[in-house]
Amino acid sequence: MSSVPVLENVSPAEHIQQLERDYLLQNYARYPLTLHRGKGCYVSDLAGKRYLDMIAGIGVNALGYAHPRITKAIREQAGLLIHTSNLYYHEYQGRLAERLAQVSGLQRTFFSNSGTESMEGALKMVRAHGNKLHPEKFEIVSLDNSFHGRTFGALSITGQEKYRRDFEPMLPGVKFVPLNDPDALEQAVSERTAGIVIEWIQGEGGINPMTQEYARRARELADKYDALLVFDEIQCGVGRTGNYFAYQLSNPVVLPDIMVAAKPMSCGLPLGCIVANERAAAAIGSGMHGSTFGGGPLACRVALEFFDMMPELLPQIRSKGAYFRSRLAELQKRHGFIKEVRGEGLMVGVDMDVPGKQMVLDAIEQGMLMNCTHETVLRFLPPYIISEKEIDRSVGILKKIFKKQ
Ligand SMILES: Cc1ncc(COP(=O)(O)O)c(C=O)c1O
């Protein structure tokens, strides 16, 4: 690799880590691992050690690494057109928006570059909707323990004090309520509510699913008070649960007014979206929102390629997810410290009554990447292409790690 200089007495990985210590904001607490290349569900470090990737770039690398259809699309499109700005049309944005409308049940899309940016746009839509109806209709109801991103609006509705406290004051008019408590929700929503924002399955908050009853009450309350219901599908959406979007787990389907998604949409290229019904979309008129990069030809073309594969992937995500959870349930029987195995499809959490941080380090040692959220929940967001054999391997590694407890 030409970009890593060979220095005496310093390994390439140490050199890279030293550069980051000297020149980057010290906001990330990275694991001591420098990744270099990947293939399928495996990624390798600079020294060539392979890791089974059960977190996939926090739910981004949906087709793993170096998927031939994705690399082909990137190669071809990079030679044609990477960026145009939104001053002009290109071939792929409208086509991807049409696909999103077909699979979401919502009508109109705005493309962004990340999750938090999608949430910002959705919040502007909510505010503009409220403003049109009454100057005091600006409140947003969000959930305890939620995570919606790091920009100011998204942070303001993130129900975890630890992320917000250094940046107060936040956006005014945000109320937090507990998940799956419909009465608390009812008390918080009023004529002043412009929007209700919910993750169908809280990801960063510890893989906590919303009940259908709660979702239905949120829908009723949004309708009663002419507020917009927003589902944050950034982590749980775009196939992760074995449905295009997690709200499609409900029966009959509880449709939001606005849905935001991002992470896996373009298989590693930055792309996010806000998809809205006509009522919500009407809040945003000409010039009210925009993005220089959002919805560029490269990211949209790759996302279309990915969506073409989705009908084949979705049943596999459901069956592989069920298999993974059943194997984890076997481990739960053997280990009293495992309280619960939760999740849908390939969004899986193992809730424990012991800390998980050392387990994540042990997993790296054993050749597997996973994540721990909320101190005690091991989180797995593997690529959608994972095989049963790879799941068995991950369970084998977990067995070894759990034995140490
Ligand atoms: C549910 C949810 N919303 C929003 C975000 C923010 O997305 P991003 O990091 O792409 O800004 C995340 C990221 O983890 C998320 O899980």
Summarised one tens digit per residue, pLDDT across range 143-157 is 999 999 999 999 999
Distance CA 380, CA 351 (A): 12
* 364 burial via Cβ count (<10 Å: 0-12, 13-18, 19+): middle
Contact 228, 125 (CB under 8 A): yes
pTM value is: 0.97
Distance CA 387, CA 252 (A): 31
**Strand residues in 327-393 grouped as ranges (E):** 338-344, 347-352, 368-369, 371-373, 377-380
How far is ligand 1, taken at its centre, from the CA of residue 29, in Å?
18
Q: Is the CB of 234 under 6 A from ligand 1?
A: yes
Q: What is the pLDDT of residue 405?
A: 87
* 80 burial via Cβ count (<10 Å: 0-12, 13-18, 19+): exposed
pLDDT < 50 regions, the chain: 1
pLDDT tens figures, 3-32: 656 567 889 999 999 999 999 999 999 999
Q: Is the CB of 197 under 6 A from ligand 1?
A: no
Ligand 1 atom closest to Cα of 151?
A: 11
- Helix, strand and coil in the chain, % to nearest 5: 40, 20, 40
Q: Is the CB of 199 under 6 A from ligand 1?
A: yes
How far is ligand 1, taken at its centre, from the CA of residue 224, in Å?
29
Closest among 125, 129, 159 to 225, alpha carbons compared: 129
